[in-house]
Amino acid sequence: MTLPKPDSLYVHIPFCTHICPYCDFAKVLYRPEWAKAYLKWLKEEAAQRDCGLFSTLFVGGGTPSALSEEELEDLLSFLSKHLKEGGEFSLEANPESLSESKIALLRKYGVNRVSLGAQSSVPASLKTLGRNHDFALVAERVRQLRDAGITNISLDWMYGFPSQSEEDLRQDIDAFLSLKVPHLSAYSLILEPGTSYAVKGVKPLSDDMQQSYFETLRDALAQEGYERYEVSNFALSGYRCRHNLTYWKDLPYIGIGVGAAGYLGESRYTNTRSLGLYLEGRYEEEVEHLDESSLLEDYFLTNLRLTEGFKESDFKQRFGFSFSSRYQERFDRLSSRGLLEQKQGSIRTTSRGLDLLDTVLLELFD
């Protein structure tokens, strides 16, 4: 089946005002001369990738709010021309590099969703994470965004990092809930090779403790009406991130910028992580043509992250055969262990299955 044309655009801004010790994203310290040149090449890449109009735009990083006001205006005025009427326009920001005047620019150019890197409310935890804001500033930015009319706000939240106590976690739960934002993304610390944490041999909390912290957090959010709609993402009704749903529903998208990736249905491309190469216009690093087994793996890998799973009719339309004709036996095994279920024509992970997603996927691919 031919998939629709990409309707989502991801734009990577690799600049940060400081580097966090656990970070594995494509990022560099902000330098104005690089930022100016980068924006020029970003527009060039958008033209070469034939970017038209999209239903969702997502500016991520790095730290997009690390750009100067002039650079931010340049970027947003360019991107706003690529947004369809009624589209979702998201931007990631850090509390310390956002400001009232930058928020005014977001509003002016139609950004209608902001994801703030809050991470924790506990000063010692923020220090451990190498963050240089405090939670009062997070609260202040949330207020400023709302005053400017941007109410679709998400907070990034980390848990399960070294030295975090249960009391710290409880404090975070109270603080994050007190801001009443409609979307929360909660991630446990993953020690990626090559990061400063990994080099120093920092150890995260044990898997059991991380799981127990996650359950505490998940239950507290559920009580306040947040729905866990994806492994790490929680939303009040009507506030799921439309852009990220494109990824999780395995639909095509275009990505531009350093380290960005794009999925065009039958192929996937990945851009260079080297700013130097990007600034020479050599942006694309790899193109992978996807055979049926890769397409199936990607389909499960993404859709089973969603609590609603996927419709069997969608699966059949996409692959030309029914899920049960190839996977019934594996489904039965996973279902008997309480990890997968079939409900109202959909295949989905149970709550336990979501927590053991790697196991589910391995057994499906087996």
87: which 2 tokens? 């589209």
CA-based nearest residue to 248, from 300, 326, 284, 200 = 300
The smaller minimum CB distance to ligand SF4, of residues 62 and 353, is found at 62
- Minimum distance from CB of 175 to ligand SF4 (Å)? 20
The smaller minimum CB distance to ligand SF4, of residues 117 and 309, is found at 117
Q: How far apart are CA 212 and CA 170, in angstroms?
A: 12
The alpha-helical segments, DSSP class H, found in the chain are 32-48, 69-80, 100-108, 123-128, 135-147, 166-178, 196-199, 207-223, 242-248, 275-278, 292-303, 312-319, 323-336, 351-355, 357-365
β-bridge mates for residue 233, sequence order: 185, 230
The smaller minimum CB distance to ligand SF4, of residues 187 and 327, is found at 187
Strand pairing class (267-271; 284-289): antiparallel
- Minimum distance from CB of 191 to ligand SF4 (Å)? 14
End-to-end Cα spacing for the chain = 24
Report whether 76 contacts 105 (CB < 8 A). yes
- Minimum distance from CB of 362 to ligand SF4 (Å)? 29
The smaller minimum CB distance to ligand SF4, of residues 63 and 120, is found at 63
The smaller minimum CB distance to ligand SF4, of residues 63 and 302, is found at 63
CA-based nearest residue to 113, from 255, 28, 238 = 238
Region for 72 from its dihedrals, namely left if φ exceeds 0, alpha if ψ lies in -120 to 50, beta otherwise: alpha
- Minimum distance from CB of 62 to ligand SF4 (Å)? 5
The smaller minimum CB distance to ligand SF4, of residues 17 and 206, is found at 17
- Minimum distance from CB of 15 to ligand SF4 (Å)? 8
- Minimum distance from CB of 65 to ligand SF4 (Å)? 10
The smaller minimum CB distance to ligand SF4, of residues 16 and 179, is found at 16
- Minimum distance from CB of 132 to ligand SF4 (Å)? 10
Query: Which residues lie closer than 8 Å to 172 by C-beta, 6 or more apart?
Result: 120, 121, 122, 125, 157, 159
Interface contacts to ligand SF4, rule CB under 6 A: 16, 19-20, 23, 25, 27, 61-63, 94, 117
